[in-house]
Amino acid sequence: MPLPFVKMHAHGDDFVIIDRRGQDDPITAQVARRLGNRHTGIGFNQLAVVLDCEDAAARIRFWNADGTPLQTCGSATRGVADRLMHEAGTDSVVLRTDRGLLTCVRVSGQRVSVDMGAPSLDWSAVPLAEAMDTRLLPIDGHPAACSMGNPHCTYFVDDIVAIDVAAVGPTLEVHPLFPARTNVHFVQVLDRNHIRLRIWERGGGVPQGSGSCCCAAVVNGIRRGLLDDTVAVQCDGGTVTVQWDGQDGVILTGRVEPIMQGSAYVL
């Protein structure tokens, strides 16, 4: 069965969109894993399946390349929003994800902004294995944790170049403190409005960027008193802007661009 798709990226964070509005959803863990393979499939960090929705322009289901589902993806949400805004001729759209209703707007320079919702800061919502202060975890390096719909663990380091993310990330992802595994970030604070970020992504390896990881890294930096409320986040693939007032939703803004379109086959 042919499945039309569009592949896009947000500063190198690549994702595939499959629009199934008005149709059935054929994506299973096995299909997502096959499509996500960079040698025998399309290849992506995340897959976004666009479905019908009664109270929003569309509902989005997300998959990692390893076939595991996830609740949120800031890059792919903005990519879907970009396409649906072009389709409708509007500068705003509301999308439903497992995080709830997310409002997206177009801003200057081919940038799209999304309110990712308020972060979850309690230990049970991350989730962690036991009760503790999520601003300072009792493990080596004393990272901070939060959830943006998926779990995040943020280390603040003096020299990000000295961190071998691919070597240490897999072990930290499955640390016993994180029963649902975790995304892992390494942050070097350049000033109160600018950080350098490298990522080990749960179920995905080392990406060029990640929207939800950028959001969580800034949230944790603000909670630790290291950052102001508007921060430029420099990832391997480029820079996005994250804003958080300490209470309400986290606003993620950056460019999204199409790469290719075609048809994949589900046998």
Question: Can you give the CATH number for the domain in which 15 is found?
Answer: 3.10.310.10
The reply to whether 81 and 191 lie within a common domain is: no
Which pLDDT score is estimated for 166? 94
User: What are the distances in angstroms from CA 105 to CA 21, 84, 258?
Assistant: 21, 11, 18
Is it the case that residue 267 has pLDDT exceeding 80?
A: no
Contact between 138 and 88 under an 8 Å Cβ cutoff? The reply is: no
Is it the case that residue 151 has pLDDT exceeding 80?
A: yes
Let me know if residue 152 belongs to a domain. yes
Which pLDDT score is estimated for 204? 75
Other C-beta atoms lying within 10 Å of the C-beta of residue 229 = 14
The reply to whether 93 and 179 lie within a common domain is: no
Is it the case that residue 2 has pLDDT exceeding 90?
A: no
The reply to whether 237 and 129 lie within a common domain is: yes
Let me know if residue 116 belongs to a domain. no
Is it the case that residue 159 has pLDDT exceeding 90?
A: yes
Which pLDDT score is estimated for 1? 79
Let me know if residue 112 belongs to a domain. no
Tens digits of residue pLDDT in 10-50: 999 999 999 999 999 999 999 999 999 999 999 999 999 99
The reply to whether 8 and 88 lie within a common domain is: yes
The reply to whether 97 and 151 lie within a common domain is: no
The reply to whether 82 and 158 lie within a common domain is: no
R_g of the chain computed on alpha carbons: 18
Let me know if residue 62 belongs to a domain. yes
Q: What integer best gives the mean pLDDT of the chain? A: 95
Which pLDDT score is estimated for 84? 98
Mean pLDDT value across residues 70-82: 95
Tell me the sheet residues that pair with 203: none
Is it the case that residue 203 has pLDDT exceeding 80?
A: no
Which pLDDT score is estimated for 246? 95
The reply to whether 80 and 50 lie within a common domain is: yes
Let me know if residue 168 belongs to a domain. yes
The reply to whether 101 and 155 lie within a common domain is: no
Distance CA 17, CA 156 (A): 33
Which pLDDT score is estimated for 109? 76
The reply to whether 71 and 94 lie within a common domain is: yes
The reply to whether 87 and 149 lie within a common domain is: no
Which pLDDT score is estimated for 150? 92
Which residue range is the domain that position 95 belongs to? 2-106+256-265
The reply to whether 227 and 166 lie within a common domain is: yes
pTM for this predicted structure: 0.94
Which pLDDT score is estimated for 205? 86
Let me know if residue 117 belongs to a domain. no
Long-range contacts of 135-141 (CB under 8 A, 24+ apart): 135/220, 135/223, 135/224, 136/224, 137/177, 139/175, 139/177
pLDDT band at 183 (very low <50, low <70, confident <90, very high): very high
The reply to whether 233 and 159 lie within a common domain is: yes
Let me know if residue 118 belongs to a domain. no
Counting the structural domains of the chain, the total is 2
More confident residue, 126 or 1: 126
Tens digits of residue pLDDT in 112-132: 999 999 999 999 999 999 999
pLDDT band at 108 (very low <50, low <70, confident <90, very high): confident
Mean pLDDT value across residues 203-214: 90
Let me know if residue 72 belongs to a domain. yes
